[in-house]
Amino acid sequence: MSEAQSPQKASSWTLAAFAAPCIPVAAMGLPLVVYLPEYYINSLGLSLTVVGSAFLIVKLIDILFDPLFGGLLDRTRMRMGRFRPWMLIGAPILTAGCYALFMAEPGVGSLYLWFWLAVLYGGYSIVVLSQTAWGAVLSSDYEQRSRVYGWWQAANVVGMILVLCLPPFITGVLKGDHIDSVRAMGWFIVILLPITVLLAVATVKEPQAPPQHGKTGLAQYWRLLMRPSVQRLLFADLLMGLAPGIAGTLFLFFFERIKGFDKTQAGVLLLVYFLAALAG
């Protein structure tokens, strides 16, 4: 490639604006797995069976939703682009689901949990798939894509660390209770998500969509899934998600009921765990 054809380097400000929504989105992921199941069981009074089945079944439905939405995303052609409109659609859905789940009052029932989990996971899929697909087309150059996803990953780490600081601070410093901690995490996400999505959509331009060549249907997806390399990749991804998923869900139950830690101490341990992973 000649010098005149070299890809334009995106500024750090542009990449920071693009990655900004990762902060509240990543901040939601950890409490959703670690804090909310325990919160709905011990603080809101739902049974372990109800909470476990709700999270499991809604997540299984979400697995089916993702490829369907991905196909819709590929076919989207709007004046604003393919991805930014969906970011604007998904953000309020995700915000509403997050607010309803994190601000729930004692006495809510199983239907409340099922419905708002479905809303939250639907909004989450729309926002995350739109942003990651958008990042893939910001540049056709390998090095520039590495910068894009470097900023993307950094923002994810910042979001996780910040939200993990809240429970020990609320309970240990401000002397609040566990409900206050969960709601503080919810407010952190609810406030930041619309601001960061609007910042990204308003600041970062989306490349013009290339013309479509042929159609992609279920047969093409099936052939893709039958490739051994894709199967190995998906299996590795399953294992990588399974271990932290199991550990995260059982974290508070294990350290409180088996090891005898209180919630503040368990929250500090979880923060130390992620800081050690970041340092390593």
> pLDDT tens-digit profile of 182-237?
999 999 999 999 999 999 999 988 777 666 655 666 777 788 888 889 889 988 98
Please report the pLDDT score of residue 2 as a whole number. Answer: 41
* Domain count within the chain: 1
Note whether residue 239 is domain-resident.
no
Note whether residue 242 is domain-resident.
no
The string of DSSP codes covering 244-269 is HHHHHHHHHHIIIIIS---HHHHHHH
Nearest Cα to Cα of residue 41 among 103, 91, 113: 113
Note whether residue 232 is domain-resident.
no
Please report the pLDDT score of residue 6 as a whole number. Answer: 47
Q: Is the per-residue pLDDT at 157 higher than 80? A: yes
pLDDT band of 138, cuts 50, 70, 90: confident
pLDDT tens, 264-280? 888 888 888 878 877 75
Please report the pLDDT score of residue 1 as a whole number. Answer: 41
Q: Is the per-residue pLDDT at 147 higher than 70? A: yes
pLDDT band of 68, cuts 50, 70, 90: confident
Please report the pLDDT score of residue 22 as a whole number. Answer: 94
Note whether residue 246 is domain-resident.
no
Please report the pLDDT score of residue 20 as a whole number. Answer: 94
Question: What is the CA 227 to chain-centroid distance, rounded?
Answer: 28
Sign of the dihedral defined by the CA atoms of residues 94, 98, 101, 105, in that order: negative
Range of the domain at 178: 11-207
pTM: 0.85
Between CA 184 and CA 224 the distance in angstroms is 43
Give mean pLDDT, residues 162-191.
90
Note whether residue 152 is domain-resident.
yes
Q: Is the per-residue pLDDT at 9 higher than 90? A: no
Please report the pLDDT score of residue 280 as a whole number. Answer: 59
CATH number at residue 98: 1.20.1250.20
Note whether residue 273 is domain-resident.
no
Q: Between 241 and 182, whose confidence is greater?
A: 182
Note whether residue 46 is domain-resident.
yes
Listed in sequence order, the residues at least 6 apart from 138 whose beta carbon sits closer than 8 Å to its beta carbon are 10, 18, 144, 145, 148, 204, 207
pLDDT band of 19, cuts 50, 70, 90: very high
**Residue whose entry in the numeric block shows the structure tokens 């609810």:** 190
Note whether residue 32 is domain-resident.
yes
